[in-house]
Every structure is written in structure tokens, then in C-alpha cells.
């Protein structure tokens, strides 16, 4: 019929915004070294705010490291257990910390 134009259903618009937000948040989180799926879910549940939080969330590559005394692997300073050899780790002193070097930053897996 003439004059009866299709209007956008608000539910469809909301779903589209949630999906775009979820994909955007997932990619931002993944680029920062986090899980795509986790940020996809967070950004889909909380549209618009999720990608913003993912953008200001810390980078995994900017965390200080230390050397495991059991196997010599580099582990995050907050790890309580070495994932390579299973050695229980105490919280390190300042002398044991290896500060991240921005020139050595590795791009997150795409």
C-alpha cells in the first residue's frame, strides 16, 4: 500500500547495536592481548560501555615479568605458579622484577 513505509523496529536496532559493540569490544580486547570471546560477551551485554572499558583496560604486554627459579621461564609478576614447571612462586621483590621495554612490545595475535 502506498504511504505505509517500513519503520525500524527498536528491538532490531538494539540487537544491531549490541552486535556491533560486541565485535568492536572483542577486537579491542584481542589487540590488547586479552580474550576476544570474553570482551565480545562483555561488550554485547553492556553495549557502548563494553568497548570503552576494553579500550582503557591494561595491556598484558605492559606487565612486569620475573624469572622462574625452577625452569628459568619468564612469568608475570603476579603469577603464583609457574605454568611451565609447576613451581610455586612467592611475590617477587623489586629487584626481581623485569620492567617491560616498549621497544620490545610484541603485537598481540590477530
Q: Tell me, what's the pLDDT at 60? A: 63
What pTM was computed for the model?
Answer: 0.55
**Where do the domains of the chain lie?**
10-60, 63-101
**Cα dihedral 75, 79, 83, 88 sign:** positive
DSSP string of the chain, one letter each residue = -TT------HHHHHHHHHHHHHHHHHHHHHHTTS-HHHHHHHHHHSTTHHHHHHHHSPPGGGS-EEE-TTT--EEETT-SB-TTT--B-PPPPGGG-B---GGGPPPPP-
Q: Tell me, what's the pLDDT at 74? A: 82
For range 90-100, the mean pLDDT: 77
Q: Tell me, what's the pLDDT at 108? A: 39
For range 89-98, the mean pLDDT: 78
HSE-CB at 39 with a 13 A cutoff on CA atoms is 26
Q: Tell me, what's the pLDDT at 110? A: 34
CB atoms within 10 A of CB 38: 14
Cell of 87: 613451581
CA-nearest of 73, 89, 71, 91 to 81 is: 89
Condensed to tens digits (0 to 9), the pLDDT of residues 27-85 reads 988 888 788 999 999 999 999 898 998 888 877 666 778 888 888 888 887 888 888 88
Amino acid at each position: 500500500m502506498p504511504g505505509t513505509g517500513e519503520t525500524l523496529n527498536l528491538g532490531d536496532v538494539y540487537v544491531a547495536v549490541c552486535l556491533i559493540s560486541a565485535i568492536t569490544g572483542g577486537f579491542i580486547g584481542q589487540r590488547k592481548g586479552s580474550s576476544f570471546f570474553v570482551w565480545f560477551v562483555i561488550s554485547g551485554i553492556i553495549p557502548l560501555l563494553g568497548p570503552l572499558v576494553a579500550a582503557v583496560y591494561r595491556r598484558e604486554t605492559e606487565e612486569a615479568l620475573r624469572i622462574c627459579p625452577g625452569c628459568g621461564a619468564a612469568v608475570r609478576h603476579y603469577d603464583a605458579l609457574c605454568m611451565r614447571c609447576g613451581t610455586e612462586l612467592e611475590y617477587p621483590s623489586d629487584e626481581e622484577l623485569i620492567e617491560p621495554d616498549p621497544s620490545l612490545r610484541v603485537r598481540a595475535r590477530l
